[in-house]
Amino acid sequence: MRNTPESQRWHTRLLHWVGFIALCIASGLTNAGVKPPVLIGIDAEFGVPGSTSAQAVRLGISIAIDEINHQGGVLDGRKLVLIERDNRSVPARSLQNLRDFAAMPDLVAVFCGKYSPVVVESLPAIHELKIILLDPWAAADSITEHNYQPSYTFRLSLRDSWAMDTMLAQARSSGFKQVGLLLPNTEWGRSNLRAAENNSAHKNGINLAGKYWYNWGDNSLLAPYQKLRKAGAQVLVLVANEREGAILIREMVALPQEERMPILSHWGLTGGKFYDDSKNALRQLDFSVVQTYSFLAGGAKAQFVLDAAKKLDGVQNARQLQSPVGVAHAYDLMHILARAIDLAQSTDRASVRNALERIRNYDGLIKHYSQPFTPTRHDALGPEQAFMARYAADGAIEPLAPARKER
């Protein structure tokens, strides 16, 4: 099924009914010898217009759950069931969703979506509730780098510091020394500024010509863009989601050619309909974006996931897959969680949390994880996974350099 509003509503209704049935089983039918399911939550931005990130994360989880259930489930035959909640990228809604999830028996963990500010604002509640938060997208460093102990946040995704290092390295290799930063006035933007300032402090030949902030909902980014250009910036590092990214792109192509800076972009805008809204303008600009994985590299596991995506969501091939990093990250993270549940031999969240730090040797889609998480490291990926990519004419996201062929 393609990602139409009607298909989204259908999928949401289906998941809610499945979740309801699962809870009935968990609470009332265990005496009849039926093994209750193990519940997994997803709290993400489904209601944001044009979102593809939450849907990609859901797809990756669903593919992994189908595979795990087909192989017998977890805990000697208990099936996994996914329950969905929409936070619309609003922190207060996310907090309520987390509290609802925490009250559900046998709900082990909750996946989040792409919005770092939502997750960062939820950190106190996550640790008050002692509910495991699994992050397959949101990149703010502070999601896993905080003072809560023991930590209940685990990420298999990019970090802002790795994204910034990758973008600035690309600027340097392209011969640019003066970089302008255009940042959202959110924790995500501040996380990226810290990363840029830390990077530039290492005498790598890059100078931050200036930084300007914008607010989500702004209808123009042209003024700060022009200020950066006039301050001497040769290349723009853009931290934006799809709406603001599309606005800037359209404004830039209306400028004379000599006023259009190359853009190195963080990946937030790949979580929505950015390409659909910007494809004509993108052909006239030098635009590249950070990624961590490409299904275009091929391989047996990549093809397995793509075949499953075709059955679940009508995706015909890798070039049609929207927000591919969300699918890949969620798929690997769900498999790691299932292994932790079996290792813990329980749905007790504290036990599963401890088990996540002890998983060894998972052969995943993105890479081989010798130990995805440790007591001192709750990030399963590393900076070596980050690379720059471009939108092709058909909307596929292609690595600038040949992608590593994964398993």
Residue 36 has pLDDT above 90, yes or no: yes
Residue 70 has pLDDT above 70, yes or no: yes
pLDDT of residue 202: 57
pLDDT of residue 96: 98
Q: What residue has token string 């504290």?
A: 350
- With bands split at pLDDT 50, 70 and 90, how would you rate the model's confidence at 1? very low
Residue 34 has pLDDT above 90, yes or no: no
pLDDT of residue 32: 56
pLDDT of residue 175: 94
pLDDT in tens, 220-248: 999 999 999 999 999 999 999 999 999 99
The amino acid sitting at 163 is A
Domains and CATH numbers, the chain: 5-158+297-382 (3.40.50.2300), 161-291 (3.40.50.2300)
Residues 6+ apart with CB under 8 A from 402: none
pLDDT of residue 403: 42
Q: Are 235 and 176 in contact (CB under 8 A)?
A: yes
pLDDT of residue 405: 37
Among the listed ranges 150-159, 178-187, 196-205, 389-398, which one has the minimum average pLDDT value? 196-205
368: left (phi over 0), alpha (psi -120 to 50) or beta: beta
Among the listed ranges 10-14, 177-181, 267-271, which one has the minimum average pLDDT value? 10-14
How many Cα neighbours within 13 Å face the side chain of 224? 22
pLDDT in tens, 123-133: 999 999 999 99
Interatomic CA distance for residues 389 and 167, integer angstroms: 11
Q: Which two tokens stand for residue 260?
A: 């259009």
Q: What percent of the chain has pLDDT over 90?
A: 87
Residue 4 has pLDDT above 60, yes or no: no
Mean pLDDT score of the chain, rounded to an integer?
92
Q: Which two tokens stand for residue 123?
A: 């950190």
Residue 375 has pLDDT above 50, yes or no: yes
Task: Provide mean pLDDT across the span 76-97.
Answer: 98
pLDDT in tens, 309-323: 999 999 999 999 999
Residues 6+ apart with CB under 8 A from 70: none
Q: Are 159 and 377 in contact (CB under 8 A)?
A: no
